[in-house]
């Protein structure tokens, strides 16, 4: 699974794996792909330093990267407390009532919520970059549009490629004009924040819009056949995230959540604003249903929603409240029906890719003889 981009980065397979778990990121790189660690949960620079130290010690010299969530425009002087104060009391009460309805226990006294969407904040994201640029990362990806111009320049000064996710050709052209190096065309099927255009349509549109800039295809990809299809559509690689959640290296801290993922079909996800305030594909649960119910108060815009539900999500996860327990995941969850190592996933991807290429070659051969 070689392309010009994979050769540039010195990787065996043009498979880029996004994950919040350092062990998964390192395993992806060791397997010949390109591991990308999601940084949004790292509000403490020391924790990011610790995990990048660990990755550096476990990638066997292979390249890896970092994914941040950073707005292109800087907002000065806004603190987390300022944002918290904007949350209406009615929405807070709705959270309390929903948790009480399902009997979700309180956190222990003094226990802080372990899940916070604060990595989007300017000062947090920049502190992550201050740490990351001390390491030999080869790629910086931004999940919230193009990063600020000074960040792009800083990355390029350190020979780090910059990628940004796009849900439309228009977004992709804006990324190109901002000076980034790689566009990730993320289709409607993808887990997490995603747009409304399916991958089969989006990928070639983005490839044509930004050519000859390299494009990675994302969304609904979990087999070697789908990798081959993405490359046939003009992508120079694939960006996979959901597929790694049920690998043995992943650390979900929740056997119940792993069971739900393994049991879910491709129709068991929903694109909801319940988690962050922006449309994000995730497992459909009674929690997402409550927020999407027209009788409820509705979700708040990002970042208010993420801060509003932070403690609630921590409680649901800690006590594994099955009816409410979910996670961002794409429609590819229907193929995630067994726990496998990252290496086993790559073995399946390469076998499927070879089968798909052989099939196309046979078709082309017959066509040439007719």
Q: Kindly report, residue by residue over 86-98, the tens digit of the pLDDT.
A: 999 999 999 999 9
**Distance from C-alpha of 189 to C-alpha of 301, rounded to nearest angstrom:** 22
* pLDDT value, residue 108: 85
Give yes or no: residues 46 and 163 share one domain. yes
Tracing tokens 């086993």 back to the chain, one arrives at 344
Domain assignment of residue 312, yes or no: yes
**Share of the chain residues as helix, strand and coil, in percent rounded to the nearest 5:** 45, 15, 40
Is the domain of 151 the same as that of 10? yes
Residue 90 included in any domain? yes
Write out pLDDT tens, residues 125-146.
889 999 999 999 999 999 878 8
Residues 57 and 163 in one domain: yes
Are 209 and 240 found together in one domain? yes
Instruction: Give me the percent of the chain exceeding a pLDDT of 70.
Output: 93
Residue 343 has pLDDT above 90, yes or no: yes
> Is residue 240 a part of any domain in this protein?
yes
Q: What does the mean pLDDT of the chain come to?
A: 92
188 and 146, same structural domain? yes
Q: In what order do the strands lie in the sheet with 192-193?
A: 192-193, 280-283, 269-272
Verify that 124 and 271 share a domain, yes or no: no
> 330 in a domain, yes or no?
no
Domain that holds residue 64: 4-71+120-250+340-364
Same domain, 246 and 260: no
The answer as to whether 353 is a domain residue is yes
Report yes or no on 331 lying in a domain.
Answer: no
Tally Cβ neighbours within 10 Å of residue 325: 20
> Which CATH number is 215's domain given?
3.20.20.70
- Cα–Cα distance list, 205 to 185, 187, 189, 193 (Å): 9, 11, 16, 19
Per residue in 54-63, pLDDT (tens digit) is 999 999 999 9
Question: Beta partners for 368?
Answer: none
Range with the poorest average pLDDT among 23-27, 119-123, 179-183:
119-123
245 plus 263 within the same structural domain? no
Are both 346 and 310 inside the same structural domain? no
Structural domain contains residue 234 = yes
Q: Is 115 helix (H, G, I), strand (E, B) or coil?
A: coil
Strand-pairing partners, residue 67, are 38, 141
Q: Judge if 170 and 267 occupy the same domain.
A: no
Do 15 and 67 lie in a common domain? yes
Question: For residue 241, is it within any domain?
Answer: yes
CB-CB neighbours of 288 under 10 Å:
21
Query: Do 209 and 165 share a structural domain?
Result: yes
Cα-based distances in Å from 296 to 91, 276, 286? 9, 17, 13
Structure tokens at 64: 């890896």
pLDDT of 6 higher than 70 = yes
Dihedral Cα 169, 175, 179, 183, nearest 10 deg: -70
Domain count for the chain: 2
What does the alpha-carbon distance between residue 284 and residue 47 come to, in Å, rounded to a whole number? 31
62 class by beta-carbon count within 10 Å (0-12 exposed, 13-18 middle, 19+ buried): buried
Mean pLDDT score, 149-176: 96
- Does the pLDDT value for residue 115 go beyond 70? no
Q: How far apart, in whole angstroms, are the C-alpha atoms of residue 270 and residue 340? A: 25
Distance CA 117, CA 40 (A): 7
- Give the separation between CA 31 and CA 53, rounded to whole angstroms: 19
At residue 370, the pLDDT reads 41
**115-124, 202-211, 296-305: which range is least confident on average?**
115-124
């Amino acid at each position: 699974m070689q392309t010009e981009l994979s050769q540039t980065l010195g990787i065996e397979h043009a498979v880029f794996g996004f994950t919040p778990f350092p062990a998964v990121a390192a395993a992806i790189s060791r397997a010949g792909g390109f591991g990308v660690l999601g940084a949004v949960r790292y509000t403490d620079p020391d924790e990011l330093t610790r995990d990048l130290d660990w990755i550096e010690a476990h990638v066997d010299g292979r390249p890896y990267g970092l994914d941040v969530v950073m707005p292109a425009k800087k907002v000065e002087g806004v603190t987390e407390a300022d944002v918290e104060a904007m949350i209406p009391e009615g929405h807070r009460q709705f959270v309390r009532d929903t948790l009480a309805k399902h009997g979700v226990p309180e956190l222990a006294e003094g226990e802080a919520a372990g899940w916070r969407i604060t990595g989007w904040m300017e000062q947090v994201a920049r502190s992550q970059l201050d740490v990351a640029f001390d390491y030999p990362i080869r790629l910086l990806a931004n999940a919230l549009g193009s990063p600020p111009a000074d960040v792009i320049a800083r990355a390029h000064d350190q020979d780090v490629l910059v990628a940004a996710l796009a849900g439309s050709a228009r977004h992709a052209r804006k990324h190109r004009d901002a000076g980034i190096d790689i566009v990730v065309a993320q289709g409607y099927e993808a887990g997490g924040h995603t747009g409304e255009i399916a991958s089969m349509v989006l990928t070639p549109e983005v490839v044509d819009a930004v050519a000859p800039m390299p494009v990675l295809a994302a969304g609904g990809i979990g087999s070697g056949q789908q990798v081959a299809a993405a490359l046939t559509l003009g992508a120079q690689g694939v960006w996979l995230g959901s597929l790694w959640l049920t690998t043995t290296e992943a650390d979900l801290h929740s056997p119940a959540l792993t069971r739900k993922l393994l049991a879910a079909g491709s129709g068991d996800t929903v694109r909801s604003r319940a988690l962050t305030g922006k449309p994000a594909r995730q497992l459909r649960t009674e929690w997402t249903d409550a927020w999407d119910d027209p009788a409820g108060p509705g979700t708040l815009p990002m970042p208010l929603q993420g801060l509003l539900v932070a403690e609630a999500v921590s409680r649901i996860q800690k006590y594994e409240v099955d009816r409410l327990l979910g996670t961002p995941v794409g429609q590819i969850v229907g193929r995630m029906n067994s726990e496998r190592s990252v290496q086993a996933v790559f073995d399946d991807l390469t076998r499927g890719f070879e089968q798909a290429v052989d099939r196309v070659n046979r078709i082309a051969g017959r066509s040439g003889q007719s």
